[in-house]
Chain A
Amino acid sequence: MTGVRTFLAWFVVAFCLATAGTAGAYHTQFVSQNCNWASPTPTSYITRDGSMTVALRARYEGYQWGGGCWNDNNNDDSPGDPPATGGTGGEGGDCSGFTFKVWRESLNENDAGFYQWGMLRFEHGPYLAQNFKGGAGAPNVIAPKSGLYQMDALASMGHVGMIYARNADGTDLIIEAKGEAYGTNIWTRTYRGDSSYGGVRRTGWSS
Chain B
Amino acid sequence: MVVAILGGCAGAEAESPALIDGSAGREAPVELEGVDAVTVLTAARVTDADAIEAGSPAETCLRGPFAGSNASGAIVTRVGVNTESVTFRESDRSLLGCDNSLGSREGNRRWCGSAYGMLYGGRLRDPRLSISCVTPEETLIGSAWVQPSSRAHYVVVHEPGFAEVYPVTGDLPVRVATAGGAKREGSRASFELSEHDAAGKLLRRYRLDAFVAG
**A-side interface residues toward B, CB under 8 Å?**
37, 65-68, 83-87, 94-97, 107-110, 122-131, 134, 136-138, 157-159
- A-B CB contact pairs (8 Å), 13 listed: A65-B211, A83-B125, A94-B214, A96-B214, A97-B187, A107-B185, A122-B186, A124-B211, A128-B115, A130-B116, A136-B106, A136-B132, A159-B214
**Residue of A with least CB distance to B183:** A107
Chain A residues with CB under 8 Å of B194's CB are none
With beta carbons under 8 angstroms apart, the residue of A83, A109, A123, A157 that contacts B186 is: A123
**Residue of A with least CB distance to B209:** A87
The answer to the question of B213 belonging to the interface, with a C-beta cut-off of 8 Å to chain A, is: yes
With beta carbons under 8 angstroms apart, the residue of B94, B185, B212 that contacts A66 is: B212
Inter-chain CA distance A137–B114, complex, in Å, is 12
Chain A residues with CB under 8 Å of B125's CB are 83-85
Q: Mark B85-129, 1 if CB is under 8 A from A, else 0.
A: 000000000100000000010100000001110100000011010
**B126 vs chain A, min Cβ distance (A):** 5
Is the Cβ of B214 less than 8 Å from the Cβ of A107? no
Chain A residues with CB under 8 Å of B184's CB are 107-108, 126
The answer to the question of B130 belonging to the interface, with a C-beta cut-off of 8 Å to chain A, is: yes
Task: Tell me the count of chain B residues lying within 8 A, CB to CB, of chain A.
Answer: 25
Q: Closest 8 A-B residue pairs measured CB to CB?
A: A66-B213, A86-B211, A66-B211, A84-B125, A107-B184, A124-B187, A130-B116, A157-B116
Is the Cβ of A127 less than 8 Å from the Cβ of B114? no
Query: How many pairs of residues, A versus B, come closer than 8 Å at their CB atoms?
Result: 92
**A206 vs chain B, min Cβ distance (A):** 23
**B187 vs chain A, min Cβ distance (A):** 4
| Besides the known contacts A86-B213, A94-B214, A128-B213, 16 further A-B residue pairs in the complex with CB atoms under 8 A apart | A37-B185, A65-B126, A66-B126, A84-B126, A86-B188, A87-B211, A97-B212, A107-B184, A107-B185, A122-B186, A125-B187, A126-B132, A126-B187, A128-B128, A128-B212, A136-B106
**B-side interface residues toward A, CB under 8 Å?**
65, 94, 104, 106, 114-116, 118, 125-126, 128, 130-132, 184-188, 209-214
With beta carbons under 8 angstroms apart, the residue of B115, B130, B210, B212 that contacts A125 is: B212
Is the Cβ of A66 less than 8 Å from the Cβ of B132? no
**Residue of B with least CB distance to A108:** B184
Is the Cβ of A109 less than 8 Å from the Cβ of B214? no
Chain A residues with CB under 8 Å of B187's CB are 66, 68, 97, 107, 123-126
